[in-house]
Structure 1
Amino acid sequence: MNRRVLLLATGDKIAYSPAPGRTGLASAQELLWAIPARMIAAHVVPEDVMAEPSWDMSPSTMLGLARRARSAILDEGFDGVVITHGTDTMEETAFLVDLLAGPAAQRGGIVLTGAMRPFDELGSDGPRNLAASIAAAADPALRGAGAVVCADDQLHAARWVTLADADAVPGFSSAPASVLGRVAGGRVEMRAVPPPRPPEVVGDPETHVALIKTYPDIEPAILTAVVDAGARGIVLEGTGEGNVPICLFTAITELAEWDIPVVVASRCRTRGVPLEDLPLGLGLAGKVGAIGARGLAPVKARCALMAALGGAALGGGGRQAVRDWFGRL
């Protein structure tokens, strides 16, 4: 019990009590009290974080969690950090935390967890998820793996995880990648090699990034409208291997001339192949200036573009610096 873990509690369903007369959110300390003492595998320091519901969590709150986790390990000597989070956007926050972890990922475990069932509901999965997450964060086996999501005793790499089922307790999946590991008997059992560490993030991420789902006959003016509204970059959710409607090509070209990066992701699982390396007839947006998301899901490509833009702005590199950064993902 000599290992120290910081618990950052953001509320949401894992802490929610819907019972009459008890409606409200359990604090970080109350979440710990719900776990039998023998199942807590480290000395845990609870800390409550004011945060929006997961489905409405702002980039600034996500960035705040990432910075707090990093500083807890690098500056305060914690062996690990656990973040309780709503399930709706946990995969985005996990990936942003992973991108910003830097050397903290080598020194301690960073685990995000939540629950599908409220705090005091019969059969709530919250206490078990939290106990497993504390054990994982404290275990040296997780060092170097980066941020992970812990649910139903399984550990999912931030880069691979997605919420596949909004109702089932084992709602998270890493498919088609493997589950990174599992927690058994209070210890981590690794099952797969972690994904490569992302490029270093230099500077503060840019939060004004738009995510646009494409569809046939989409109005190209949507792209310039979000830029006029302040977006410094755009992620387009395309189809297949990274295809977007041809009607957008002129707008993508114009944005490239304005030094506004446009990243193309897919609503499907794809390989991490650059658009320009795809077979003839696929990924045509790359020929007019778009940047491939290297296999990232659209919501994670948005996080990656936020991070890349921060470094590009700091170094004055603009769109080409973003392209180079994505090339190292």
Structure 2
Amino acid sequence: MNNNELKKMTYREAIRLGMTEEMRRDDNVIFMGGDIGPRVGAFCLSAEMIDEFGEERILDTPISEAAMVGTAVGAAATGLRPICEIMFMDFVTFAMDALVNQGAKMRYMFGGQTQVPMVLRLPAGSGTGAGAQHSQSLEAWLCHVPGLKVVTPSTPAQAKGLIKAAIRDNNPVCFIEHRLLYKIEDDVPLDEDFMVEIGKTFIERPGKDITIVTYGTLLPKAMEAAVLLAAEGIDVEILNPVTLYPMDMKPVVESVIKTGRVIVAHEASKTGGVGGEIVARIAESEAFDYLNAPIIRLAGLDIPIPYNRKLEAAVVPQTKDFIRAVYCLLDCE
């Protein structure tokens, strides 16, 4: 196989490919979660994996998130490299003790003598009409916990590269995958050594007039807005912090110094969201002196996600909201 070979595949297929490659490479990698065996998971992500790896490595667990994550922490601490799928990110609430009070702290409390190389896969976000208990974006909770790494790929290539990097990492990695992205298609490297380094922020679209920092399913909305604005002569730069913690702020600071205007956007509720942390870091950096307008935060409303599709869409930022925010920044001149 040519190491530069690309194949068009969905975000879902890219995650599966990354996991499969790592399970073939390392017998210590196991995959566990509810209904991931013959039923191939809630989102059909584990299709055919049990046929290749068997029930000893594809563990169809009881539907108890506390038990799943507690088992994953113990397995990781004793030599395995578990991937644990929580059916909906919302249900990580049941597993916070094992994740936050145990997995995130073991390496520190034992002076590095113990490692916890586990991946917690967390399908997240709204847009599927799943209601308030199955549509949340809780990344800010996880970013607040020292000892956890938090990543959220926005493209199929990023999904493959980050899942492989997460599996090889010797720390707990929370891998957030927005469910609306599962069906998007793009070119993915077939090179089995292809990885996306944890701790990087990417410039998805260069520009000179305004900086947008966003991730997950808001990235394609921001890109769509940028194309529409380009027709009006407005040049938008878009940055994607695929690693939310530890976040690489250097490209963000450099971009804000260049453009003097910035929008920070995410789907999660505005209050206490990751966007507020990004804004604070910009304000604490040398970029602050280059700002020509107040920073705008675009985020979800501080309400539970509605079941009704039209109300659901109204709660989180859309393409038109990016365009409106850009106009607002330009009007501040």
User: Fold match, TM over 0.5?
Assistant: no
TM-score, length-normalised on structure 2? Answer: 0.32
Q: Which has the higher contact order (CA 8 A, sep 6+)?
A: 2
TM-score, length-normalised on structure 1? Answer: 0.32
